[in-house]
């Protein structure tokens, strides 16, 4: 197995990802709609929106996979951050970068992967929209266009969310953003009130 190298702009990329405040949030219909379409139209058992964090990849939207995250060093999506467009692995079992990857030799038994990088509003690549199959295959030209189009829709959703929750002049979270973060934190209160408090303070820029 050959883990992906970190991008040259890793610090900036991680800062952009965290500014979006998407990690560890609850499922949202606008993202799940995109992965459902990708799964159905492209005939893939698994479709994900994967956000590549410092030491893990976390799934903003997940169709067909039980896990909510995996370590970054086994991530296919971390490799896709270096791809100019779509990163495709027709048969992972025959690819030296992935042949002995735990996600290939064990569950979910990945054989085929295709991921289109997605960018934050500032242009930093933060993850992918990807499809996964347990059988070797190749993307058709129509598949390529479909994946690129869906990734573009996803990026537009991220821009709309960012502009709706942050002040245009200062870049700080506005009232709607604070309310949204509070709702997300309270919805996860089963994790404990201390964590809810910490998430609210973080949303406000406090410590």
Give the domain CATH number at 81.
Answer: 3.30.450.40
Does 5 fall in a domain? no
Which pLDDT belongs to residue 186?
52
Whether residue 124 lies inside any domain: the answer is yes
Report pLDDT for 84.
79
CB 165 within 8 A of CB 183: no
> What's the pTM?
0.82
Whole-angstrom distance, CA of residue 14 vs CA of residue 18: 6
Q: Are 201 and 149 found together in one domain?
A: no
pLDDT tens column, 21-75: 899 989 999 999 999 999 999 999 999 999 999 999 999 999 999 999 999 999 9
Given this model, what pLDDT does residue 55 score? Answer: 97
User: In terms of domains, do 47 and 65 share one?
Assistant: yes
Which residues of the chain register pLDDT less than 50? 166, 191, 193, 207
Report the alpha-carbon distance of residue 58 to residue 72 in Å, rounded: 9
Q: Which range marks the domain in which residue 89 is found?
A: 10-165
Per-residue HEC secondary structure of the chain comes to: CCCCCCCCCHHHHHHHHHHCCCCCCCCCHHHHHHHHHHHHHCCCCEEEEEEECCCEEEEEEEECCCCCEEEHHHCHHHHHCCCCCCEEECCHHHCCCCCCCHHHHCCCCCCEEEEEEEECCCCCEEEEEEEEECCCCCCCHHHHHHHHHHHHHHHHHHHHHHHHHECCCCCCECHHHHHHHHHHHHHCHHHCHHHHHHHHHHHCCCC
According to the model, what pLDDT value does residue 67 have?
94
Domain identity same for 111 and 185: no
When divided into structural domains, the chain yields a total of 2
Is residue 46 located within the same domain as residue 119? yes
pLDDT of residue 207: 46
């Amino acid at each position: 197995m050959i883990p992906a190298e970190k991008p040259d702009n890793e610090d900036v990329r991680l800062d952009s990802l965290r500014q979006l405040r998407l990690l560890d949030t609850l499922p949202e219909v606008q993202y799940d709609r995109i992965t459902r379409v990708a799964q159905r139209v492209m005939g893939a058992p698994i479709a994900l929106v994967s956000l590549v964090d410092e030491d893990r990849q976390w799934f903003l939207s997940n169709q067909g996979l039980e896990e909510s995250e995996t370590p970054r060093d086994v991530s296919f999506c971390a490799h896709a951050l270096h791809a100019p467009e779509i990163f495709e692995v027709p048969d992972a079992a025959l690819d030296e970068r992935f042949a002995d990857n735990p996600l290939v030799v064990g569950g979910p038994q990945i054989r085929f992967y295709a991921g289109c990088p997605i960018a934050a509003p500032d242009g930093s690549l933060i993850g992918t929209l990807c499809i996964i199959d347990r059988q070797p295959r190749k993307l058709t030209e129509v598949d390529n266009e479909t994946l690129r189009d869906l990734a573009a829709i996803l990026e537009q959703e991220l821009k709309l969310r960012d502009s709706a929750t942050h002040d245009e002049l200062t870049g700080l979270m506005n009232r709607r953003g604070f309310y949204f973060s509070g709702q997300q934190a309270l919805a996860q209160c089963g994790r404990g009130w201390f964590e809810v408090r910490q998430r609210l303070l973080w949303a406000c820029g406090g410590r």
